[in-house]
Structures are given as structure tokens and as C-alpha cells.
Structure 1
Amino acid sequence: MRRYDDSVEVRRGRVDGAVHDDAPAQFLWRGRLWKVRIVLARWVETGAWWSSREVGAALGTDSECDPRSATDLLGEREVWRVEAGPRADELGVFELTFDHDGGRWALVGCDD
């Protein structure tokens, strides 16, 4: 799977394989509209809290902890692995993420 960090516009809706009606149903990537045919998986990821300065300070491996650089330990993003294509005979597998803090959708992986 190739890795990206490209902003995308997403329209949510009902998609096969999704539990709720708010799955990514379509997304606009690089000037093309991709229709999601099926949701393969969905999970939630947290930030890399284990590499924060606060954890280093607690373990005694980082002597200075600047409170202005505090990592949001509760920050999460949804990850959706979907099968999508501009047409039914032209499909690929994509990973889309939604960052709740920034309200940003991104395409982070593609296997087409």
C-alpha cells in the first residue's frame, strides 16, 4: 500500500459493510470523484502518546517538560479502509482518516 497524506473532500452516507449511515460514501481525490463500494474495516487510532515529552519526564529520560508543548493524549482519528472506484470495474483499496480535532479528512493509503 502506498502512503499519502492528501486532503480530500468526503461525503458521508450509507455504504455496504458499514454499521452506521455516516460512512464515507464518496471522496474527491486529485480531481476525481471516487465512489465507495464497500467498507472493509473501520478503527480509531490515538496519537503517539508514548513518545511525548510528558512520558519522558515521568520516566526520567527527559529533564525539561515545556507545558506549551503538551501532547493531546486524547486526540483520536477514525480510519476507514474502503474499496472505491470512479466506476464499478475500476476499483482500489483506500485508507481514509478523519481527524476529530481538526475536522480534516485525508487519504493516507492507496492500493489500486
Structure 2
Amino acid sequence: MRQYDDLVEVRKGPVPDDGPQQFLWRGRLWQVREVLAHWVETGAWWLRRPEERPGRSELLREREVWRVSAARGRAVATADDPGFGVFDLAFDPTRGVWRLAGSLD
């Protein structure tokens, strides 16, 4: 997995799925073809001890991650197509921002 920390603009789908349907990354629109996984991650508790920054524990930080397969605006795309990929999109609810966390090569 190639790691990123790029801000992206995400358009979410309707309830009940409410997952990402499109995202804009580096000036290109990607259409989500399938949600492969969805999970919640907590902060990196091992990087900072709470006593070093009272009230700012990393355990309190969470982000919602969606692993999706997506294509660059094409109606039909395959895994062999360079305009197709698998991406991890992460939403930080405390900041209200989406980031592209990684992509599978």
C-alpha cells in the first residue's frame, strides 16, 4: 500500500449506505465502483502519552476509513486499466475533512 495524506473532496451517497460515491484527487474525478471495507480507527496512542499533553490524548481521535475501488470517471473500467485503483479514504469527524490515506499498487 502506498501511503498518502492528501486532502480530497468527497461526495457521499444516500442513506443508508452513506459511503463515498465520488472523490476529487489531484484535479481528477474518481467514481467509486464498490465499497470493499469500512472501519473506524482510533488515534496512535503509542506516539504520545496523555500526561505529556493533558486533555489531548490521541485515544480520543478517531477516523472513519472506507476502502473503495474507483475509476477515473469511466462507466466501465477494469483492474488492468491505469485509470482504476483501490483507495483508502479517511474522514476525520473532529475536523470535518476527508483525506486519501493510501492506494493499493
* Band the TM-score falls in, shorter-chain normalisation: 0.7 to 0.9
Distance change (3 Å), C-alpha of 1:75 and 1:49 = same
Bigger helix share: 1
Distance in 1 between residues matched to 2:2 and 2:54, nearest whole Å: 36
Match for residue 62 of structure 1?
Answer: none
Match for residue 16 of structure 2?
Answer: 20
Match for residue 45 of structure 1?
Answer: 41
TM-score of the superposition, structure 2-length normalised? 0.82
Distance change (3 Å), C-alpha of 1:66 and 1:36 = closer
What SS class does the counterpart of residue 73 from structure 1 fall into?
helix
Q: Across the two proteins, how many residue pairs are aligned to each other?
A: 98
Distance in 2 between residues matched to 1:83 and 1:20, nearest whole Å: 19
Match for residue 109 of structure 1?
Answer: 102
Q: 2:71 aligns with which of 40, 61, 85?
A: 85
Cα RMSD for the two superposed structures: 2.0
Unmatched runs of 5 consecutive residues or more in structure 1? 58-64
Q: Which has the larger radius of gyration?
A: 1
Runs of 4+ in 1 over 4 A off after TM superposition: none
% same residue: 61
Unmatched runs of 5 consecutive residues or more in structure 2? 78-82
